[in-house]
């Protein structure tokens, strides 16, 4: 019985980390999605969305070191490309073209959160 304690403790610690990580990534993606909604609201109010996009970019850049350890680089690179495209469109004042890019960015954030969830789809 004693020989089982350490492996069991290790498995429980790994499970705890997996659950914590999934919750943390989901929270970050929720923050980013809320920031995208702020950009959309700013555009709807007649603004250019530049300040809100700057806030979104700051939130995004704050955690990139850890995100590159736990999330697929392809998913992060796609979000990064969409973010750059959104900033460029905002700088050009192309608000009508910015809405679809923001929708894609919102979807990418949801995808990133989904990939970290503990589900049969992610396990098998």
Encode the chain (124 residues) as per-residue pLDDT tens digits: 788 999 999 999 999 999 999 999 999 999 999 999 999 999 999 988 899 999 999 999 999 999 999 999 999 999 999 999 999 999 998 989 999 999 999 999 999 999 998 788 877 7
Q: What is the pLDDT of residue 105?
A: 98
Q: What is the pLDDT of residue 122?
A: 78
Can you tell me the distance from the alpha carbon of 60 to that of 56, in angstroms, rounded to the nearest whole number? 6
Per-residue pLDDT tens over the stretch 87-115: 999 999 898 999 999 999 999 999 999 99
Q: What is the pLDDT of residue 123?
A: 74
Domains within the chain, CATH numbers bracketed: 2-123 (1.20.120)
């Amino acid at each position: 019985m004693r020989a089982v304690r350490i492996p069991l403790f290790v498995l429980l610690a790994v499970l705890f980390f997996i659950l914590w990580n999934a919750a943390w990534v989901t929270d970050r993606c929720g923050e980013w999605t809320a920031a995208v909604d702020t950009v959309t609201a700013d555009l709807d109010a007649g603004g250019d969305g530049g300040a809100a996009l700057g806030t979104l970019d700051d939130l995004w850049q704050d955690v990139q070191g850890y995100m590159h350890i736990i999330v697929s680089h392809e998913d992060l690179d796609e979000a990064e490309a969409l973010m750059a495209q959104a900033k460029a469109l905002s700088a050009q004042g192309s608000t009508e073209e910015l809405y679809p890019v923001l929708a894609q960015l919102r979807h990418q954030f949801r995808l990133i959160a989904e990939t970290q969830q503990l589900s049969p789809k992610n396990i098998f």
